Structure 1
C-alpha cells in the first residue's frame, strides 16, 4: 500500500481533536480511516481512496473506496474520511468483502463552520480552519455506522446520485 503509516496517525489525530468525533474512539467496536480521498468531476464524477480498518486498536486490513456519480457537478476536492462501527455486526458487514452505503447514508463534516452533511447522498461542503473551531454538527450511528469527513482542499459543487463502495482485504 502506498499510503504511509504516519498519514494514518496524523489523520486519526485530526479527528480526535473534534469534540463530536472524540467519544467514538472509546465507544466504537472499530473504525476505518481514509487519509486522502480525491474526488472530481464534470457531469460524471468519481472518488477514490485507500484506507486501513482497525479493531481493538490494531489494523485488521486494508480497504479501498470508490464512488462514481452522475448529475450536476463540477470541480475537485481532497478530503479524509473516518467510519466508526458501533458493534461487531456493523464491523463484520463492512469487512464482508464488498460493502456499499445506501443513498440515505451521509457524513458529518468536521471542518470549522460547516454543519452540512456530506457523503454518499451527494451533498458536500468544504471550508476549513480545523475541526476544533466553530460549531460542529451532532453525529449518531445510522445502521451501525457513523461517517465523518474533513476537507483538505479544493472546491466542488455536487448534486448527484451514487454511493460509496468499499472493498476489504484482510491483513492476515
Structure 2
C-alpha cells in the first residue's frame, strides 16, 4: 500500500510539472513578464544594470513549485535579446530531497554573452542541479553570480517551502516569429 501511495505522489507531481501554469495568450504572458521586470527593478535597483548590460534574458513571471520529498516546478516565460522580445520558453523542474510545501516565484535568467543566449535558444537547455540562483529578498542588496555566462535570479511571490533539494531545470525555446 505504501508503494502505491508513493507511485501516485510521483505520478501526480510529474503531471503537475509537465502541465504547469499557462497563459491564455502570448500577449498576457508578455504583459506579466514586463510587470515582473518592473517589480524586480523597483524593489532591487542593483539588478537593473543586468537588464541593460546582458546580451539577453528570459523572464518567467509565474513559476509554481510544489513538493513532498519529490518536487516539481513549471512556468512559462518571455525571452529578450538586447531588450527586444525574440521568443518564449517553458521551464520544467523535477527534483528529489528533503522538502515540503509550495511556492510561487519570479525567475530571471541573464545571458552575459550572445553565445550563452544562442545556446539557450537552440532548445533543450538545462541548468544543472548545482547551478546557484541569487534569491532576492526585501531590503537585501545582492549581485548576480554568473557561471559560464549565465546568471539566475529568483524573487519569491507567495507560499512557503522548507527543505533542501537537488535537481535541475530544463527549458524549451520557441521563437516569436
TM-score (norm 1): 0.83
Q: Deviation at 1:39?
A: 0.2
1:34 is matched with which residue: 60, 73, 77?
60
Secondary structure in structure 2 of the residue aligned to 1:165: strand
Q: 1:139 aligns with which of 141, 144, 153?
A: 144
- CA deviations 1:108-153 (Å, max 9, x no partner) are 11121xxxxxxxxxxxxxxxxxxxxx22223231110111111000
Runs of 4+ in 1 over 4 A off after TM superposition: none
2:175 matches 1:164: no
When Rg is computed on C-alpha atoms for both structures, the one with the higher figure is 2
Question: Secondary structure, in 3 states, of the residue corresponding to 1:138?
Answer: coil
State the partner residue of 1:83.
109
C-alpha distance in structure 2 between counterparts of 1:166 and 1:158, whole Å: 24
Please list the CA deviations of residues 46-98 of structure 1 after superposition, one character each: whole Å capped at 9, or x if unmatched.
00000010012221111000000111111000001111100111001111110
Partner of 1:2: 24
Shift in Å at residue 106 of structure 1? 1.0
Identify the residue that residue 73 of structure 2 maps to in structure 1. 47
- Unmatched runs of 5 consecutive residues or more in structure 1: 113-133
Matched, 1:60 2:65: no
Secondary structure of the residue that 1:79 maps to in structure 2?
strand
In the alignment, the residues of structure 1 paired with residue 93 and residue 170 of structure 2 have an alpha-carbon distance, to the nearest angstrom, of: 6
Q: TM-score, normalised by structure 2?
A: 0.81
Larger CA deviation: 27-36 vs 134-143:
134-143
Match of 2:95 in 1: 69
Does residue 95 of structure 1 match 2:121? yes
1:20 CA drift (Å): 2.6
More helix by share: 2
